[in-house]
Structures are given as structure tokens and as C-alpha cells.
């Protein structure tokens, strides 16, 4: 399949990451996973998240970066504090966002999920503009992948509870789900 055939959403900044591969079945997408990320931890803005997803993170720029610079990860979408959106991986391709994971007894959630990263932390309220962007993206994604029902929209902590806590207690699930 040519790159032109892949699912890139309109109206967002496209920043293709090398950290993806083909899904076992590109039509088997039925899970949406919400994450949070900030680099350095607790700091917002800048280009560190983008650099991380593009394998360009400078390990000497911050002590924390030396621990993660060699990791190869990505998400399909990233929503900044101001609500602006970047897409790093086509939706029909497998982004490397979930790691060791399990949903309803099914392992390897990257195979069948779409990952959205919110710029934030577990203990910081998310911005209204992020909720607006997330709701809009979720509606677009669900039109493309109708198997993603409300019950199949989860946090990273739901699919990797021993490893992950995001999007964290400051993420307002009732607000987000009501907006859908």
C-alpha cells in the first residue's frame, strides 16, 4: 500500500515518525488509548516530545533525556496544551505507544489500537482546548473505525496497570465522554 493510501487526518500537522510498522490486520482497529506525556517531566511546550517520537532527542539536553533517548516510541496523535494537534503515524499503521498491554484478555494492544498523547501529567489539569481537540479527533476516528465504541476508549493505565498511570486522576473522563 502506498503512503498516500494511509490514513492521515486533515487539519492536523503531519510529522511522520519512523517508529511504526504494519498492523497484523489494518482493518482490525477497535480500541482508542489515551495517554499523557511531558518532556522533561512536568514541563510543557518546546520540541522535546516531537524529537522523542522522531528519534532526535538530545540526551545531553536534560538529565532525564539520557534515560529515554534510545527508546523507540510513537503515538498516532499528540495534543499540545493549546489544543494544536500533530499526527506522527497513519491511523491504519501500528504506532508504538502501548508497550506490554492487555485489553479484555487480548495482548499487544498496539496491534489494534490508536494512541493519543495529551501534553500533560497525571497530577495537572488538562486544558479546555485539549478536551475540545480530543473530542473532535475522537469523533473523526470513530467515523473511520466504528468498532471503537465508548467502552473501547481507555487510558494507558487500563491496559498496562502494573506499569502505567496515565492519563491520570486529573483527566476528566466524564467530561470527555459526555462530549462524544
Give the tens place of pLDDT for each residue, 56-113.
999 999 999 999 999 999 999 999 999 999 999 999 999 999 999 999 999 999 999 9
* Residue 117 annotated in active site: yes
Query: pLDDT confidence of 2, banded at 50, 70, 90?
Result: very low
**Fold designation for 11-43+73-178:** Lysozyme-like (3.40.80)
Asked whether residue 150 carries a pLDDT value surpassing 90, the answer given is yes
Residue 3 has pLDDT above 60, yes or no: no
DSSP string, 101-136: -EETTEE-GGGTEEEEEEES-TTSPPPHHHHHHHHH
From 50, 70, 107, 117, the catalytic residue: 117
For residues 146-160, average pLDDT: 98
Amino acid at each position: 500500500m502506498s503512503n498516500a493510501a494511509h490514513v492521515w487526518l486533515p487539519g492536523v500537522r503531519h510529522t511522520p515518525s519512523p517508529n511504526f510498522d504494519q498492523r497484523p490486520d489494518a482493518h482490525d482497529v477497535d480500541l482508542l488509548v489515551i495517554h499523557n506525556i511531558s518532556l522533561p517531566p512536568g514541563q510543557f511546550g518546546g520540541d522535546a516530545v516531537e524529537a522523542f517520537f522522531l528519534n532526535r532527542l538530545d540526551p545531553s539536553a536534560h538529565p532525564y533525556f539520557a534515560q529515554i533517548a534510545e527508546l523507540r516510541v510513537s503515538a498516532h496523535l499528540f495534543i499540545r496544551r493549546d489544543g494544536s494537534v500533530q499526527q506522527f503515524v497513519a491511523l491504519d499503521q501500528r504506532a508504538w505507544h502501548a508497550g506490554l498491554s492487555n485489553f479484555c484478555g487480548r495482548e499487544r494492544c498496539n496491534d489494534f489500537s490508536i494512541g493519543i498523547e495529551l501534553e500533560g501529567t497525571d497530577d495537572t489539569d488538562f486544558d479546555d482546548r485539549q478536551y475540545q481537540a480530543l473530542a473532535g479527533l475522537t469523533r473523526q476516528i470513530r467515523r473511520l473505525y466504528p468498532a471503537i465504541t465508548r467502552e473501547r476508549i481507555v487510558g494507558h493505565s487500563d491496559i498496562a496497570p502494573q506499569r502505567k498511570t496515565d492519563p491520570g486522576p486529573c483527566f476528566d473522563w466524564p467530561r470527555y465522554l459526555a462530549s462524544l
